[in-house]
Amino acid sequence: MEQAEVWYKNGLRFHCTGCGKCCTGQPGFAWVSLDEIVAIAEYLGLTIDQFAKKHLREVNGRYALKEHVETYACTFLDGKACRIYPVRPKQCKTFPWWKENLKTKEDWEEAARYCEGINHPEAPLIPISEIHETM
Ligand code: SF4
Ligand code: SF4
């Protein structure tokens, strides 16, 4: 992708406030790869089997972290903090720099409706090079 072509070529404002809203409140899937499953299980001191039974759901041949049925909160959300923060899935580490959030300005504004860090008045301007490195 040519950097000059995209609508956010001048960068985007984002700063995570740690509000935790991206981990709860709406149905979704925090996908985990096999490597991530191994790393998280090890971090928690669980066998893969124990971890899978307690924390994973299989969806169309892929694995996602379980979420609470009523609140849709990720089961690793503790207050506003992530209990597996150092080994959280790549998907969590790269939010909000997801292709679907960056497709159009409207998609970015849509993500800003639940993520208060997007376009936050105190957020620094993140250059496009950094955005693409993080994606
Ligand atoms: S793993 Fe952590 S960062 Fe990812 S959705 Fe769950 S609580 Fe949020
Ligand atoms: S919703 Fe946005 S500001 Fe809040 S924790 Fe998630 S990334 Fe950070």
Q: What is the mean pLDDT of residues 76-86?
A: 96
Which ligand is closest in space to the CA of residue 122? 2
pLDDT value of residue 1: 53
User: Is 109 a residue whose pLDDT tops 80?
Assistant: yes
Helices 34-44 & 48-55 angle (0-180, nearest 10) = 100
Residue 37: which domain range?
3-134
55, 66, 74: residue to mutate for ligand 1 pocket, most atoms within 8 A of CB:
74
Sign of CA pseudo-dihedral 100, 16, 13, 106: positive
Quote the number of domains for the chain. Answer: 1
Q: How far apart are CA 45 and CA 13, in angstroms?
A: 38
C-alpha distances in angstroms, 24 versus 44, 70, 72, 121, 128? 21, 10, 5, 23, 28
pLDDT digits (tens, 9 = 90+) for 82-93: 999 999 999 999
pTM for this entry: 0.91
Residue nearest to atom 4 of ligand 2 (CA): 19
88 Cβ below 6 A of ligand 1: yes
Is 63 in contact with 78 (CB distance < 8 Å)? no
Q: Stretch 111-115: mean pLDDT, rounded?
A: 95
Mean predicted lDDT score pLDDT of the chain: 95
Over residues 9-47, the pLDDT tens digits come to 999 999 999 999 999 998 999 999 999 999 999 999 999
pLDDT at 122: 93
